[in-house]
Amino acid sequence: MPIPDYKTDNSVAHLYGDSTKPLPSLPAVLIKPSHRLPWFFVGIYGGLVLLLLVAITPYALVHPLWWSLLLGVSLLLGLSLRALLRRHRFMGWLEFKSSCWHLEYFENVPGTKNTRPVHMMLQGDVEAVIWPWVIILYWRTRPAGPVGRRFTLVLMRDSLSEADFRQLKCWLRICLRPKG
């Protein structure tokens, strides 16, 4: 329902509308292995096991087979946690230039102690969770086929220098459009 006698000012509409102007570039920030990230993931996975324990305990007292189910699920969560920690423990650089995210890091070569450089260009929509102690970047790339690829990067406060963490946090808050 229109508001009577409401006049719109179209002279500033271009400031808030969709703009084709590219985002400013973000200088490369150095990502170091975090000492707090494993504890972050252990806390999340430990909480899942604890909630499962609370949910299963009434049934396990009556029928002991439920304890084996809890043990099996806990082992699967432990293996998944191990793979997750191995994947998120890397050192590299993250930057935004030419309307594209660039992530460079070193990956372990399977079967050896050597590493090889990996360069990823991440295009597509990015969502960010920004808290004072963690930044979580989540990309959903535009699909080349029926489904797009997803990539998540978790940056704890100790993975970046203080200046880089502040710079990335400010750039994300200013440049990314909030979802809603």
Q: Where are the domains of the chain?
A: 24-33+90-175, 39-87
3-state DSSP helix/strand/coil percent for the chain, to nearest 5?
Answer: 40, 25, 30
**pLDDT of 13 higher than 50:** no
The pLDDT tens digits for 129-170 are 898 888 988 887 665 555 567 778 888 898 899 999 999 998
Among the listed residues 77, 92, 100, 86, the one whose alpha carbon sits nearest the alpha carbon of residue 26: 100
Taking the alpha carbons at both ends of the chain, their separation in whole angstroms is: 22
Q: What is the pLDDT of residue 145?
A: 52
Global pTM value: 0.66
Amino acid occupying residue 132: P
**pLDDT of 25 higher than 70:** yes
Percent above pLDDT 90 for the chain: 6
Encode 40-75: b = buried (16+ Cβ within 10 Å), e = exposed. bbeeebeeeeeeeeeeeeeebeeeeebeeebeeebe
The pLDDT tens digits for 96-132 are 888 788 888 887 777 777 878 888 887 777 888 898 8
d(CA 163, CA 157): 11
**pLDDT of 180 higher than 50:** no
Lowest-pLDDT range of 87-91, 114-118, 172-176: 87-91
Among the listed residues 25, 77, 18, the one whose alpha carbon sits nearest the alpha carbon of residue 49: 77
The pLDDT tens digits for 35-82 are 888 888 888 888 888 888 888 888 878 887 888 888 888 888 888 877
> In 8-76, at which residue ranges do the beta strands (DSSP E only) sit?
26-31
Q: What is the pLDDT of residue 1?
A: 44
* 140 bridge partner residues: 125, 150
Encode 143-160: b = buried (16+ Cβ within 10 Å), e = exposed. eeeeeeeeeebbbbeebb
Percent above pLDDT 70 for the chain: 79
The pLDDT mean for the chain works out to 77
Amino acid occupying residue 54: V
**How many other β-carbons are positioned within 10 Å of the β-carbon of residue 14?**
9
